[in-house]
Chains A and B, each alone.
Chain A
Amino acid sequence: MKAYIEKTNKYADVEASTVNELLIKLKINPTTVIVTKNNELVTEQEKITNKDEIKILSVISGG
């Protein structure tokens, strides 16, 4: 599955069935991001598939 990581402006390619699993595999602290699935905000428990467009957005202010 491809997930866009906004902080690095790159796509990660990993297998995961939930948002939580995705963040663990990418070693991203869930308190530092929000995740969208097909442009809708979702919780860490949300199920995801290869067909979904996943974005991981940083919550930390730009300075």
Chain B
Amino acid sequence: MVCKNCIEKPVINLINNNVKLCKSCYIKYFESKVKKTITEYKLIEKNDHIVVACSGGKDSTTLLYLLKKITKNRKDIKITALAIDEGIHDYRDKSLEFLKNFCKENEIELKIFSYKEEFGKALDEILKTYKGIPCSICGVMRRYLLNKKSKELGATKLATGHNMDDEAQSIVMNLFKSNMKLSARMGPTTGIKIHEKFIPRIKPLYLLTEKEVTSYAFIKGFMDKLNECPHMQDSFRNYVRDTVNEFESKYPGTKHSIVNSFIELLPALKSYYGSLPATLQLCERCSEPSSKKVCQTCQYIDKVIKK
């Protein structure tokens, strides 16, 4: 058994293509797929300042490394790493240490903002009184800070490490919950024409599965020690993830089919729903974009954090 392209021993079996690749051919395959995604969906444009949302995890570290590598000869492109420290003891502190070292070694500017400084409380403190689903409140606050801080840093794009698994799960979740309007705002790039206060988001790992990203991260040494957030709970997404993985195992290529079908449908969805909530306005408290008079983050600050 040898690599499809050379005589080396394979390290990965790309089930969707029915191809086995060795370590160096896999690295080439992976990097060329990311470049192809960037080109096909015009994710990077002249004079872009790309802020990369980083956690120190394998997906965002892979993304940061590749964006830096791909744009190294582009003097007009700036790359900055942005991390949000939610304040999760023994989890985020560890991953941020890894990220700090990574950015230092790779000469990448890193900015870190914390819930504690921005909202007054760390997530661990907030969850002592908040009894809802931790990922719900944390996700809202993290997305809020990512948009606000990338805007303050002068970003023209916010890059996230979302992969094909994330997208396939979101597509199925929105379908099961009759949320097609939300799906209309998905895809490899989002928010390009939404609002001047929304930083457009790009997902260069969009066409790579989580297993492919993990394999690349392992080969490159970006997986110091995998860890799970201590606040992670059973959720609808976890159930959908297991279901999609079961299908993928039994019917290889399922994730590609879900995402490829979605990409075909996306122009029609965007045209039908538009890419904006019709009622988009600025939050009367913080002036950030919101679909309500007071944005969800300011509501959490009033009802949960200041409580």
Which residues of A are at the interface with B, using a C-beta cutoff of 8 A?
6-7, 29-34, 36, 40-45, 57-63
Contact = CB atoms under 8 A, between A and B. Distances in A.
Contacts of B232: 62-63
A63 B230 CA distance: 9
15 contacts: A29-B246, A31-B209, A34-B218, A40-B11, A41-B12, A42-B11, A43-B12, A43-B20, A57-B214, A59-B210, A59-B211, A60-B241, A61-B57, A61-B210, A62-B226
Contacts of B219: 41
Nearest to B213: A59
B107 to A, nearest CB: 26
B114 interface: no
A58 B215 CA distance: 11
Interface residues of B, number: 33
Given A31-B249, A57-B226, A59-B211, 14 more contacts: A7-B228, A31-B248, A34-B211, A34-B214, A34-B218, A41-B219, A43-B20, A44-B13, A59-B210, A59-B214, A61-B58, A62-B228, A63-B231, A63-B232
B245 interface: yes
B227 A43 contact: no
Interface in B43-78: 57-59
Interface in B203-229: 209-211, 213-215, 218-219, 223, 226-229
A57 B218 contact: yes
A61 B59 contact: yes
Contacts of B246: 29
A27 to B, nearest CB: 11
Nearest to B92: A62
B1 interface: yes
Contacts of B121: none
Nearest to A45: B1
Contacts of B58: 61
Contacts of A43: 1, 10-13, 20
Contacts of A62: 57, 91, 95, 226-229, 232
Given A43-B20, A59-B211, A31 B245 contact: yes
B135 interface: yes
Most chain A C-beta atoms within 10 Å of own C-beta, residue among B23, B211, B229: B211
Contacts of B11: 40-43
A22 to B, nearest CB: 15
B129 to A, nearest CB: 21
A45 B20 CA distance: 11
Interface string B12-31: 11000000100100000000
B127 to A, nearest CB: 13
A4 to B, nearest CB: 12
A6 to B, nearest CB: 6
A26 to B, nearest CB: 14
Contacts of A59: 210-211, 213-214
A25 to B, nearest CB: 15
A33 to B, nearest CB: 8
B226 A31 contact: no
Nearest to A41: B11
